[in-house]
Structure 1
Amino acid sequence: MGLYKRGQVWWMQFTYQGRLVRKSTEVSDKKLAGKIHAKVTTQIAEGKWFERLPGEDKTLGDLLERYVSDHSVPNKAPSTVRLDRAIVKDILAYFGDIPLKEVTPNRISSYKSVCRAKGLAPSSVRYRLCVLRHAFNLAIREWEWVKDNPATRVSKDKVDNARDRWLTIEEEERLLNASVLYATGEKNVKIPHYWAQEIVIVALNTGMRQDEILSLRWPDVDLFRKTVAIIRSKNGEKRTIPMSQRVFELLKEKARVRNIRSDLVFASEAGTKIHDRNLRRAFFNALERSGIADFKFHDLRHTFATRLVQAGVDLYTVSKLLGHKDIKMSQRYAHHCPESLRSGVAVLDRISTSSAQSAPEMAKGVTDCSVTP
Structure 2
Amino acid sequence: MANLTKRMVEGLQALDRAYDVRDAALRGFLIRVEPGGTKSFFLDYRFAGKRSRFRLGIYPNLSVDGARTVAQAIAGDVARGIDPQARRKAERIKAARDKVSTLKAFLDARYEPWAKTHLKSAKFQLARIRSDFADHLDSKLSSLNTFAIERIRHDWKKAGMKPRSINRDIQRLQSVLSRAVQWGVLEEHPLKGFKPMKADKTGRVRFLTAAEEVALRAALEGRETKLKQARIRFNTWRIARGKAPLPERPEDLVDHLRPLVILALNTGLRRGELLGLRWGSVNMPAKLLTVTAATAKSGHTRRVPLNAEALAVLTAWHERQGRPGDDKFVFGDSEGERMSRIDTAWRSLVATAGLKDFRLHDCRHHFASKLVQAGVDLYTVKELLGHSEIAMTERYAHLAPDNLASAVAKVSGL
In the superposition, the TM-score normalised over structure 2's length comes to: 0.68
Instruction: Quote the residue 1:174 is aligned against.
Output: 215
Deviation string, structure 1 residues 194-240 (Cα, Å, up to 9, x no partner): 52221111111111001110111111111122211112211222222
Query: Residues of 2 paired with 1:336 and 1:22: CA distance?
Result: 73
Residue 150 of structure 1 aligns to a residue whose secondary structure is coil
For 1:185, which of 214, 221, 231 is the aligned residue?
A: 231
Query: How far does residue 156 in structure 1 lie from its aligned partner after superposition?
Result: 2.4
Deviation string, structure 1 residues 268-324 (Cα, Å, up to 9, x no partner): 334333332xx2322222222222223222121111112212222222211111111
For 2:283, which of 200, 203, 222 is the aligned residue?
A: 222
Query: Residues of 2 paired with 1:21 and 1:135: CA distance?
Result: 39
Counterpart residue type for residue 314 of structure 1: D
Query: Residues of 2 paired with 1:333 and 1:3: CA distance?
Result: 76
Whether the 8 Å contact between 1:204 and 1:301 is mirrored in structure 2 is: yes
Determine if the alignment matches structure 1 residue 97 to structure 2 residue 135: no
Query: How far does residue 94 in structure 1 lie from its aligned partner after superposition?
Result: 1.3
Instruction: Quote the residue 1:201 is aligned against.
Output: 262
Q: Over aligned residues, Cα RMSD in angstroms?
A: 4.0
Query: Residues of 2 paired with 1:207 and 1:56: CA distance?
Result: 44
For 1:250, which of 313, 328, 336 is the aligned residue?
A: 313
Whether the 8 Å contact between 1:12 and 1:23 is mirrored in structure 2 is: yes
Query: Residues of 1 paired with 2:168 and 2:231: CA distance?
Result: 45
With over 3 angstroms needed to count, the CA separation of the structure-2 counterparts of 1:5 and 1:105, relative to structure 1, is: farther
Greater share of helix residues, 1 or 2? 1
Once the two structures are overlaid, the 10-residue window that deviates more, 146-155 or 213-222, is: 146-155
Query: Residues of 2 paired with 1:3 and 1:122: CA distance?
Result: 65
Instruction: Quote the residue 1:274 is aligned against.
Output: 339
For 1:293, which of 356, 362, 386 is the aligned residue?
A: 356
Instruction: Quote the residue 1:263 is aligned against.
Output: 328
Instruction: Quote the residue 2:186 is aligned against.
Output: 146
Deviation string, structure 1 residues 163-220 (Cα, Å, up to 9, x no partner): 2431233321211111242321133699573522211111111110011101111111
Counterpart residue type for residue 166 of structure 2: V
With over 3 angstroms needed to count, the CA separation of the structure-2 counterparts of 1:27 and 1:336, relative to structure 1, is: same
For 1:313, which of 357, 371, 376 is the aligned residue?
A: 376
The total of aligned residue pairs comes to 337
With over 3 angstroms needed to count, the CA separation of the structure-2 counterparts of 1:101 and 1:345, relative to structure 1, is: closer
Counterpart residue type for residue 348 of structure 2: N
Query: How far does residue 253 in structure 1 lie from its aligned partner after superposition?
Result: 1.6
Query: Residues of 1 paired with 2:137 and 2:178: CA distance?
Result: 20
With over 3 angstroms needed to count, the CA separation of the structure-2 counterparts of 1:336 and 1:28, relative to structure 1, is: same
Instruction: Quote the residue 1:236 is aligned against.
Output: 299
Query: How far does residue 247 in structure 1 lie from its aligned partner after superposition?
Result: 0.9
Query: Residues of 1 paired with 2:53 and 2:136: CA distance?
Result: 33
Instruction: Quote the residue 2:62 is aligned against.
Output: none
For 1:159, which of 199, 203, 216 is the aligned residue?
A: 199
Whether the 8 Å contact between 1:228 and 1:240 is mirrored in structure 2 is: yes
Instruction: Quote the residue 2:120 is aligned against.
Output: 77
Instruction: Quote the residue 1:360 is aligned against.
Output: none
Residue 335 of structure 1 aligns to a residue whose secondary structure is helix
Residue 286 of structure 1 aligns to a residue whose secondary structure is helix
Query: How far does residue 252 in structure 1 lie from its aligned partner after superposition?
Result: 1.4
Residue 303 of structure 2 aligns to a residue whose secondary structure is strand
Counterpart residue type for residue 149 of structure 2: I
Query: Residues of 1 paired with 2:380 and 2:146: CA distance?
Result: 43
Structure 1 runs of 4+ aligned residues shifted over 6 Å read 2-13, 20-24, 345-349
Structure 1 residues not aligned, in runs of 5+? 353-373
Counterpart residue type for residue 227 of structure 1: L
Query: How far does residue 68 in structure 1 lie from its aligned partner after superposition?
Result: 2.6
Deviation string, structure 1 residues 334-355 (Cα, Å, up to 9, x no partner): 2324345566578899xx9xxx
Deviation string, structure 1 residues 97-148 (Cα, Å, up to 9, x no partner): 244344443333333334445544433332332222212212222x112211
Q: Which has the larger radius of gyration?
A: 2
In the superposition, the TM-score normalised over structure 1's length comes to: 0.75
Query: Residues of 1 paired with 2:172 and 2:53: CA distance?
Result: 34
Once the two structures are overlaid, the 10-residue window that deviates more, 167-176 or 107-116, is: 107-116
Residue 334 of structure 1 aligns to a residue whose secondary structure is helix
Counterpart residue type for residue 215 of structure 1: G
Instruction: Quote the residue 2:106 is aligned against.
Output: 63
Structure 2 residues not aligned, in runs of 5+? 1-27, 35-39, 59-66, 236-247
Counterpart residue type for residue 117 of structure 2: P
With over 3 angstroms needed to count, the CA separation of the structure-2 counterparts of 1:258 and 1:100, relative to structure 1, is: same
With over 3 angstroms needed to count, the CA separation of the structure-2 counterparts of 1:42 and 1:160, relative to structure 1, is: farther
Query: Residues of 2 paired with 1:23 and 1:175: CA distance?
Result: 76
Determine if the alignment matches structure 1 residue 112 to structure 2 residue 112: no
Query: Residues of 2 paired with 1:200 and 1:21: CA distance?
Result: 70
